[in-house]
Amino acid sequence: MTNNTGEDQFNPAIEIWQQPERSPTKIKKLEKITIQIKPLTLKDSEAVYDLFSNKKVLKSYLERPIKEKSLTSGFIRRITSEGNWTWKIYQENKPESFLGICGLHHLDKKNRTIEIGGTLMPNYWGKGLMKQTFEFIIEIARKDMEINRVIAKTSTRNKQAIRLVEKLGFTITKSNETETHLLKTLTSE
């Protein structure tokens, strides 16, 4: 989203508390990590390809999202086209860092629904980053887009994603061997 000067309207910072790695003899204090999101661009092609080429990431997909490196720019164009808002997740003060992507897509204005999705590099899993990011972009959907229902779709074998959105108040509406759909109804405040 941009203002009338073409600048980003928001560059939100989301603070995450992460427990650093421990050695067997030392336990460190919790360190604060602040993440931000900004619109995904073609400049992120290399990192996006790396994300969707990662073997751990691919385990949660029924098929590979990007079949070969040369198709990455087309993939980015598709997920950032009209009716889709896709952001790069990065660490504050490190705009070159790439933790993953998140997005709102398949906007249905008539029914006031939108889908949510995201993927993180595996070394950022289990740190609460996607939960905080989803909470933030759900608020964008509710306040800025006047959405009243958010849909999440994932592979049924992606138990982490299902647990994550259930923690955010989504409920399963459909599930079969391959895909699970979840829904969250938003209230206007």
H or E stretch at 102: strand 100-108
% of residues, the chain, pLDDT over 70: 82
20-34, 67-81, 147-161 — which is least confidently predicted? 20-34
* DSSP single-letter state for residue 3: -
**Among the listed residues 104, 88, 86, 129, the one whose alpha carbon sits nearest the alpha carbon of residue 184:** 104
Amino acid at 129: L
H or E stretch at 73: helix 72-79
**Computed from CA positions of residues 93, 34, 103, 149, in that sequence, does the dihedral angle turn out positive or negative?**
negative
| 111, pLDDT greater than 80 | yes
What is the model's pTM? Answer: 0.81
Q: What is the pLDDT of residues 114-161, one digit of tens each?
A: 999 999 999 999 888 999 999 999 999 999 999 999 999 999 999 999
